[in-house]
Chains A and B, each alone.
Chain A
């Protein structure tokens, strides 16, 4: 289980997160929802160790992630797909995957599992990442993170700018991962994009945690969406 315990963090002196607490358990998808600048991506960066915490702690089961150097956070079992994909454009699909595999010492069987999830990538193994379509790039970014075989997967707006068929394929993969016991923390701005796959929705406003509601409860009463996202 991933646990954020009263986390405060920011950029330099500018504090963005204020005593944020959150739990993501194995086999569930939590969507972190909020307006632009609410602190969603900052939360992800804080979990990954890329922002020093001002206070609070972050745990993955019994491991205190906030005490680890940033490069050891993925090795502890946290995969991260940042906004904008950020692939290694000059490397091929196979080489991008290889870098993901090597980080945690995973071998060909993990590569096979990942390529089974994303069969389209198998056809493009020798192709440079920069030549892939937007949807394929997103698939590769996810595939590379999955090469770590993470216990927790952080996804920052994974469907942004994609065509509907790609969105459907990616949502299918995310729910499939959840069903295998992976904990998924998903950042989205558009509630409709995630409401039918998320188990729970956690709202965030000005870096402070808002209510955490089940997807069913939110579907029945959307007033929280109006308040925290403004739609």
Chain B
């Protein structure tokens, strides 16, 4: 219960910030919460199951395009469009998992990367439908969910908080469940888990589909809340980002992805105010953090202060 209370405490702080933050940071934090939801999905696969994917942009984009194309071409309202986005991500992650999980280690990374690149090129190739590199805007009138205008800043923040809170609590529940323990055991020693009578492939498949589904939901929400669907979100950059966020925040910790996303977001934001070479600042900070906190921020917190931190 203590773990749930602490995580609920973070949600309470984020809710309080809704009433106190200046507009600029209010918008930033909404964006961070959606991206952190994406990172949490990634963390389930990488941090807890030990599978390093370089293709999660495919799932994020599948959710975003599933939602966006559903609105643009099928005339769906936001709720079924979100569901379509989630379903797209779950199906795509299931199909990719069925193929990629036949490999491991570096081969798994390469296979996931290649499929994500194929997805990116598909978005560009079918430009008539997807508007290619340019992407497309979801109009304000198309972003009204159950009478709530999601383009309004306050509503957008609350919607992002709801998404983040759901992903946070689902992640926490999952990693503390018996299923979650098996995922950690797979990360520790896959052969040993098999020798104890578990179908490792089925567990990894489930983990990848849950991870992909969460990434897709975040992608769909991002498109809906910020009103834009574009090919950039399918590019390799968006496969690398969640890896960095999770590493910075602490792989295999529930709060790590949020901390990592927040840190990286503001590092780039503040760095770009100082210099055009802001990625250099980000790079130096990453190197320093890797040197002095190799397990990430929350990983260090767990190591030094609270060993039971989920």
Listed in ascending order, the chain B residues whose CB lies under 8 Å from chain A are 178, 181-182, 184-185, 188-189, 191-200, 252, 307
Given contacts A71-B194, A74-B196, contact A99 B182 (CB under 8 A): yes
Interface string of A47-90 (1 = CB under 8 A from B): 01010000000000000000001111111000010100011111
- CB–CB B196/A144 < 8 A: yes
- A100-108, A188-196, A210-218 - interface stretch: A100-108
Interface string of A140-160 (1 = CB under 8 A from B): 000011001000000000000
Cα–Cα distance between A90 and B185 once the two chains are bound (Å) = 8
Partner of A99, one of B191, B196, B199: B196
Query: Is A95 engaged at the interface, CB distance under 8 Å to the other chain?
Result: yes
Shortest beta-carbon distance from B107 to chain A in Å: 18
Chain B contacts for A208, CB-based, 8 A: none
Cα–Cα distance between A75 and B307 once the two chains are bound (Å) = 33
Query: Is A136 engaged at the interface, CB distance under 8 Å to the other chain?
Result: no
Nearest chain B residue, comparing its CB with the CB of A131: B307
- CB–CB A74/B185 < 8 A: no
With A75-B197, A88-B188, A99-B181 already in contact, 8 other A-B pairs whose C-beta atoms are closer than 8 Å: A50-B191, A80-B195, A90-B252, A91-B184, A99-B185, A103-B196, A145-B196, A148-B197
- CB–CB B198/A71 < 8 A: yes
- CB–CB A88/B192 < 8 A: yes
Query: Is A5 engaged at the interface, CB distance under 8 Å to the other chain?
Result: no
Size bracket of the A interface: 20 to 34
Query: Is A98 engaged at the interface, CB distance under 8 Å to the other chain?
Result: yes
- CB–CB B195/A48 < 8 A: yes
Listed in ascending order, the chain A residues whose CB lies under 8 Å from chain B are 48, 50, 69-75, 80, 82, 86-91, 95, 98-100, 102-104, 128, 144-145, 148
- CB–CB A102/B189 < 8 A: no
Cα–Cα distance between A53 and B123 once the two chains are bound (Å) = 46
Nearest chain B residue, comparing its CB with the CB of A145: B196
Chain B contacts for A128, CB-based, 8 A: 307
Partner of A71, one of B199, B252, B307: B199
Chain A contacts for B191, CB-based, 8 A: 50, 86
Chain B contacts for A71, CB-based, 8 A: 194, 197-200
- CB–CB A90/B188 < 8 A: yes
Given contacts A86-B189, A88-B189, contact A95 B181 (CB under 8 A): yes
Given contacts A98-B178, A102-B178, contact A88 B185 (CB under 8 A): yes
Cα–Cα distance between A200 and B266 once the two chains are bound (Å) = 69
Cα–Cα distance between A99 and B194 once the two chains are bound (Å) = 11
Partner of A88, one of B184, B197, B200, B307: B184
Nearest chain A residue, comparing its CB with the CB of B193: A99
Given contacts A91-B184, A98-B181, A128-B307, contact A72 B197 (CB under 8 A): yes
Nearest chain A residue, comparing its CB with the CB of B307: A128
Nearest chain A residue, comparing its CB with the CB of B189: A86
Among A50, A87, A88, A91, which residue has the most Cβ atoms of chain B within 10 A?
A: A88
Chain B contacts for A144, CB-based, 8 A: 196
Shortest beta-carbon distance from B130 to chain A in Å: 41
Nearest chain A residue, comparing its CB with the CB of B252: A90
